A and B are shown apart, each in its own frame.
Chain A
Amino acid sequence: MNLSPETHSIQSQLARYCRDGILTELSGARAERLPQYRRLVFNIIQDNIESAYPIAFKYLEKEIWNVLVYDFFSTHECQSYQVWKLPKEFMEFVVENNYQEKYQLPFLNDLLGFEWAEMELYNTTDIPYEYGSLNDDIFNGTISFNPEHLILPLKYPVHMVPPAKALELKGNYFVLLFREKETGKIQFVDLSVWYAFLVEQISQNNVTVTELIEYAPQLFGTISIEELKASTEQFIQSMIDKGFVTEIK
């Protein structure tokens, strides 16, 4: 190790100060200039987190938001070398430390999860896929979906209504997010538990709609198979229209 313990410790002190803003004496430094570093570093952190979570930032009281950001940056060791991924670590920190209970914001984890999912999917590495023929039988053909998608389970419908309203609508929600091939834009679709199950099974296990419908009574109890078939056909058709279905063969 070429670096002396003293130099190492000086470097650590400066970095620590940039993270927690607590000024201690730093040898051979101009004390009045040090706050510039704290300000510049912390601005980058704040800006990145704010721009990844515009809804949460707008909805949370400023004081609470500032506590979250401060606690995060002063105690968490940021691991990603890419600053755009920093907000993911922020979300994980907020979830792990259960701030939603501490500040009685029961929708907080859902909201951060939803906002991050959009950002991550928007930027995520391309998965190659092509559009093929869509003419085959919806029920018995093999359906392929746009692989650039994810399904997020939520307790509060933060994908549909503002947080205050979402609070009154606790339930089991699923939102499908997928990235449009041409524009790269993210589309959201609210899914019932049945359609969430359907999309997940088809994309992971290569099963047909007919096979899944046969299985439905075990999952949902007494249901009308005919009605389920009709509504499922409508659902698949709407997903074809949205460009989420890439091929049926």
Chain B
Amino acid sequence: MSKKPTAGPALHKVIMVGSGGVGKSALTLQFMYDEFVEDYEPTKADSYRKKVVLDGEEVQIDILDTAGQEDYAAIRDNYFRSGEGFLCVFSITDDESFQATQEFREQILRVKNDESIPFLLVGNKCDLNDKRKVPLNECQLRAQQWSVPYVETSAKTRENVDKVFFDLMREIRSRKTEDSKATSGRAKDRCKKRRLKCTLL
């Protein structure tokens, strides 16, 4: 009955951010349970955990599905702090939600204080292409400015749902190995980070 050392599979912490109604919960539930939820119910903050196989290695993903509402902005910092990677979601049928990603991005960078935090810009509801309000090239441009990947998904048809979660986990994983190398070896990683920042500027 002694305490087991909780080695277990690696745990990657992902946070869903974005305005309300863009499909954060729908993407999460599709990934977790393979089902599309039609009814819209504002989330407060729900967490999920699941074992998955990432490139042949068993890992755990922890998904925190957050609220998009304004009045939570003040405590969002608290949630963001624990995240290791972010899926920043907007709906391609809603320009306001696209504009809002800017604010989320800034808040994340401020809280995490790290320009190269694993991050994906996700344009959801791509099954509604006929109602598209945000042109594809604008999305790509923004992603380019931020140096992050841009992926379009549909929680309804499951298109790219696995992809965004797995791509993000891969980034988180490589960040972690990089970091551990840095701490065990030299602080040469810091140079790398700085270099990244330079290319950004």
Judge: A and B partners, yes or no: no
* B residues lining the A interface (CB < 8 Å): none
Using CB atoms and an 8 Å cutoff, list the residues of chain A in contact with chain B. none
